[in-house]
């Protein structure tokens, strides 16, 4: 059984091109073997299963525009190309995590456009890319045949949290500060727990656990949770570490967007709840316990931003004007408070629409 596959960086020269994983790529691209050899000193994202079989491979390349080998050409000065992308991992969320790496790379390099060329037969990959905002842009014709070109545009907005991911739109939506205990926070937002000054770059290198994915499920019971609605923006607030002062160990770490907020009572039975909660950090045993508490709410959300700099409770109060007396479990914030948090957290300007 596949367990916790990890995305890691590797050199081309350290990968065996003769494994069956590459057969389809060799058949589809006559130049694949020579191309692979020329890239020997470059890095690529890979994933192996428990038996050390290659199950994931993705090569990303920053190109200087205009890109003229596709039609129509792409004229931006700097674009990100998904050069080769293949996954063989049934029953996992690995594709989401690879797509997150694509977006992390684009954000880290202030890139507005990402494109990928893919043969029409790869329907599952195309469907997955389109779910996160890639649209059919054009075509690329070579001796290997006709490939479709799909483009992710970080500029144009669709008013859809998945198509626009990872951009956060706060124009007409409520903003909340949501408190999460440290033991749950580390499991749910692993890359937000990394102690570095640049989370985006670290996300590209580290794949802490499979919990490092786009979709999240959080279950809790706090006063006011019934007010949280679809498209609302949530700032994740990790509460104080055991034995430490909340003033400096409670920190804002991440920004999410709500997809759905459901009461436990809205589920017909435990099986429906378990299926819905498959992205959660809880085991099946823990989920059954949570299902028994009819005061719980289940929030499904996208994980859009890990703050470059985590903001302590002290700075939230002194620099972002958060009310010291307000309930830190769930607190509604103003747009100005949120904007200040983004500034303090080092969030890229292009990621937030005010």
DSSP-assigned states of every residue in 163-211: TSTT-EE-TTS-EEEEEE-HHHHHHH-GGGG--SS-HHHHHHH----TT
pLDDT at 283: 87
Q: How far apart are CA 72 and CA 138, in angstroms?
A: 6
Whether the ω angle into residue 285 lies within 30 degrees of 0, i.e. cis, is no
Say whether 89 sits in a helix, a strand or coil.
Answer: coil
In terms of Cα–Cα distance, which of 203, 136, 193 is closest to 348?
Answer: 203
Reading the chain (354 residues) residue by residue, the pLDDT tens digits are: 445 688 899 999 999 999 999 999 999 999 999 999 999 999 999 999 989 999 999 999 999 989 999 999 999 999 999 999 999 976 567 888 899 999 989 988 989 999 999 999 999 999 999 999 999 999 999 999 999 999 999 988 899 999 999 999 998 899 999 999 988 888 788 766 544 434 444 555 554 444 567 899 999 999 899 999 999 999 999 999 888 889 999 999 999 999 999 999 999 999 999 999 977 878 899 999 999 999 999 999 999 998 989 999 999 999 999 999 988 899 999 999 999 999 999 998 889 998
pLDDT at residue 243 in the model: 86
Place of tokens 């195309």: 126
Helix or strand (DSSP H, E) at 353:
strand 352-353
| pLDDT for position 202 | 52
DSSP state of 92: S
Edge-to-edge strands, sheet with 43-48:
7-11, 43-48, 54-64, 78-87, 113-118, 145-153, 134-142
| pTM for this model (two decimals) | 0.88
pLDDT at 203: 52
256 close to 236: Cβ distance less than 8 angstroms: yes
Helix (H) or strand (E) holding 338: helix 335-344
Cβ neighbours of residue 277 under 8 Å, at least 6 residues apart? 217, 219, 287, 298
Query: What is the pLDDT at residue 192?
Result: 63
Alpha-carbon distances, residue 131 vs 67, 115, 126 (angstroms): 24, 15, 9
Nearest to 255 by CA among 216, 304, 195, 188: 304
Distance from C-alpha of 253 to C-alpha of 238, rounded to nearest angstrom: 7
Question: What pLDDT is attached to residue 90?
Answer: 66
pLDDT of residue 276: 94
Rounded CA-CA distance 236/300 in Å is 14
8 Å CB contact between 137 and 160: no
Question: Tell me, what's the pLDDT at 3?
Answer: 58
Strand, coil or helix: 19: coil
Q: Is 196 exposed, middle or buried (CB count within 10 Å of its CB: 0-12, 13-18, 19+)?
A: middle
Q: What is the pLDDT of residue 279?
A: 72
d(CA 257, CA 234) in angstroms, rounded, equals 6
Q: What is the pLDDT of residue 195?
A: 46
Instruction: Judge contact between 89 and 56, C-beta under 8 A.
Output: yes
């Amino acid at each position: 059984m596949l367990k916790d596959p990890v995305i890691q960086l590797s050199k081309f020269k350290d990968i065996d091109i003769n494994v069956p994983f590459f057969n389809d790529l060799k058949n589809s691209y006559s130049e694949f073997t020579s191309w692979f050899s020329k890239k020997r000193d470059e890095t690529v994202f890979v994933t192996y299963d428990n038996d050390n079989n290659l199950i994931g491979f993705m090569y990303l390349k920053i190109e200087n525009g205009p890109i003229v080998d596709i039609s129509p050409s792409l004229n931006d000065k700097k674009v990100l190309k998904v050069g080769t992308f293949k996954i063989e991992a049934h029953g996992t969320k690995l594709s989401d995590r690879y797509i997150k790496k694509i977006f992390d790379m684009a954000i880290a390099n202030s890139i507005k456009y990402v494109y990928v060329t893919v043969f029409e037969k790869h329907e599952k990959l195309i469907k997955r890319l389109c779910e996160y905002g890639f649209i059919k842009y054009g075509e690329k014709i070579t001796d290997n045949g006709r490939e479709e070109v799909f483009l992710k545009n970080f500029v144009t907005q669709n008013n859809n949290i998945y198509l626009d991911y990872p951009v956060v739109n706060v124009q007409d939506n409520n903003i909340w500060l949501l408190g999460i205990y440290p033991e749950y926070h580390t499991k749910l937002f692993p890359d937000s727990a990394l102690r570095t000054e640049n989370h985006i770059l670290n996300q590209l290198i580290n794949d802490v656990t499979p919990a490092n994915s786009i979709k999240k499920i959080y279950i809790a019971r706090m006063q006011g949770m019934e007010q949280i609605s679809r498209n609302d923006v949530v700032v994740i607030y990790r509460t104080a570490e055991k034995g430490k002062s909340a003033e400096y160990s409670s920190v804002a770490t991440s920004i999410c967007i709500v997809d759905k907020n459901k009461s436990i009572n809205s589920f017909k039975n435990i099986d429906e709840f378990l299926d819905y909660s498959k992205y959660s950090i809880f085991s099946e045993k823990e989920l059954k316990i949570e299902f028994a508490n009819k005061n719980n709410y289940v929030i499904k959300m996208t994980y859009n931003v890990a703050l470059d700099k985590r903001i302590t409770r002290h700075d939230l109060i002194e620099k972002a004007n958060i009310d010291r007396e307000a309930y830190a479990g769930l607190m509604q914030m103003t747009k100005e408070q949120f904007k200040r948090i983004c500034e303090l957290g080092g969030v890229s300007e292009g990621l937030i629409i005010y």
